[in-house]
Amino acid sequence: MTRERIMLGYYAVVAVAAAALLVWAHQQPHAAAAGEDDTPAPTTVHRTPKRATSSFPPAEIAKFLTIAADTLANLNSGDQAAATTRVTDLETAWDAGQPTLEPKNEQAWHFLDSEIDHVLTALRAPNPNKTTEVKALNTLLTSLS
């Protein structure tokens, strides 16, 4: 019985020490403070259209440009159904080009892929907003130009 009480006391001390350590660690700063000479790293890299497309074959970029322009023209003429159908052509062509385009410049591919995703989301929204659709398409067209 005495041995059990000693071990129980030992475990209680260990538990209190562990709790104290956790409280102390929680109160410590979670990141090093920036010095006067430190400059924060940019969180995103701004890509210009030339940087986004320079690694890819011009014929491929021209194909995506044509499809995006057609989609915008359909949208501007008030034909949402045709625009939605045409944007599927963009998705299909982009996905088909991934195995050859992505290895050429992975960062640029992901940048353009994100812009295409915004276009797809805007045009396939349950209640499409023409302003959002046009903005997403114009952003993509600028990047592809």
Domain with 96, as residue range(s), is 49-144
Answer yes or no: is 24 within a domain: no
pTM value? 0.62
Contact 108, 53 (CB under 8 A): yes
Task: Find the Cα–Cα–Cα–Cα dihedral 25, 30, 32, 36, rounded to 10°.
Answer: -120
* Per-residue pLDDT tens digits for 102-134: 888 888 888 888 888 888 888 888 888 888 888
Answer yes or no: is 5 within a domain: no
Residue with tokens 């986004």: 52
Answer yes or no: is 23 within a domain: no
The letter for the amino acid at 51 is R
24, HSE (Cβ side, Cα atoms, 13 Å):
6
* Per-residue pLDDT tens digits for 47-86: 444 567 777 888 888 888 888 898 888 888 888 888 888 8
Answer yes or no: is 33 within a domain: no
Specify the DSSP class assigned to residue 103. T
pLDDT recorded at residue 50: 53
pLDDT recorded at residue 140: 86
pLDDT recorded at residue 47: 45
